[in-house]
């Protein structure tokens, strides 16, 4: 039987790697997050079993006042075949005193290099500045078309001044269901069309 290639081994580890526990805590914004140590604790045994070594090197570093911008390279090596794969990841950090900015940038870049190389979702979306609870709600709406449609229908009902009891009766008469949450996507689309047309007729 032919030996596994490096990419086959990485794919296997991606499948074996379970949800990483979040032991880090941001006390200011009150949420927990997975640290680099959390990921390595889960990843290292799987890589060792597969004969894969991991090495992080810093390929560039720019320091200015209290900020640091770095580029790190994760080198993944198959000890059996000698195959190598690399992942480059930028990192940026600021520190009020400046003495920890480089280390913060390196740690952040290394963490995300590991995450992305092994196709793991961090749950820490750097593009979302909302508090964790609100961020989760926003992400759900962004990827769930039926929830987005429900929100639009609820907004239209509210704008039309429809009370809860009136809404229940109307939904039951039209669709045999009493709440917006119980409607299918097609029913929501139909109701949104009806409400929009009614709103347009009044304006």
What domains lie within the chain, and their CATH numbers?
A: 6-131 (3.30.390), 145-202 (no CATH)
- pLDDT > 70: percent of the chain: 82
Residue 82: per-residue pLDDT = 94
Structure tokens at 122: 């961090």
Comparing 37-41, 124-128, 147-151, 159-163, the range with the smallest average pLDDT is: 124-128
Residues 6+ apart with CB under 8 A from 49: none
- From the number of C-beta atoms within 10 Å of its C-beta (0-12, 13-18, 19+), residue 115 rates as buried
**Residue with structure tokens 């890589």?**
47
- In the structure, what pLDDT confidence band is assigned to residue 87 with cuts at 50, 70 and 90? very high
- Give all strands of the β-sheet with 84-94 in edge-to-edge order: 52-64, 67-78, 84-94
Eight-state DSSP code of residue 87: E
CB 109 within 8 A of CB 91: yes
- pLDDT score recorded for residue 20: 78
Mean pLDDT confidence for 175-190: 84
On the question of pLDDT at 190 being above 80, the answer is yes
Look at the block and give the residue holding tokens 């640091």.
68
In this prediction, residue 81 carries a pLDDT of 93
Mean pLDDT of 192-196: 83
Q: Are 72 and 56 in contact (CB under 8 A)?
A: yes
Report the percent of the chain where pLDDT is more than 90.
29
Q: Are 156 and 194 in contact (CB under 8 A)?
A: no
- Upper half-sphere CA count for residue 25 (Cβ side, 13 Å): 3
Rounded to two decimals, the pTM is: 0.58
Could you tell me the pLDDT band of residue 98, with boundaries at 50, 70 and 90?
Answer: low
Mean pLDDT of 35-39: 86
What mean pLDDT is predicted for residues 130-159?
Answer: 64
Average pLDDT, the chain: 81
């Amino acid at each position: 039987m032919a030996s596994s290639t490096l990419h086959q081994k990485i794919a296997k580890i991606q499948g074996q790697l379970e949800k990483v526990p979040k032991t880090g805590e941001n006390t200011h914004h009150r949420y927990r997050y997975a640290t680099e140590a959390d990921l390595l604790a889960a990843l290292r045994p799987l890589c060792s079993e597969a004969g894969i070594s991991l090495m992080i090197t810093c390929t560039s570093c720019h320091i200015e006042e209290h900020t640091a911008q770095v580029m790190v390279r994760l080198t993944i090596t198959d000890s059996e075949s000698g195959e190598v794969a690399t992942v480059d990841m930028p990192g940026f950090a600021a520190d009020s005193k400046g003495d920890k900015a480089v280390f913060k940038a390196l740690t952040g870049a290394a963490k995300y290099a590991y995450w992305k190389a092994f196709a793991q979702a961090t749950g820490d979306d750097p593009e979302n500045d909302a508090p964790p609870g609100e961020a989760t709600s926003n992400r759900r709406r962004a990827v769930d078309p039926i929830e987005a449609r429900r929100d639009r229908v609820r907004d239209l009902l509210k704008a039309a001044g429809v009370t809860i009891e009136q809404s229940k009766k109307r939904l039951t008469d039209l669709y045999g269901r009493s709440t917006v949450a119980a409607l299918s996507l097609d029913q929501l689309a139909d109701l949104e069309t009806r409400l929009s047309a009614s709103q347009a007729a009044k304006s």
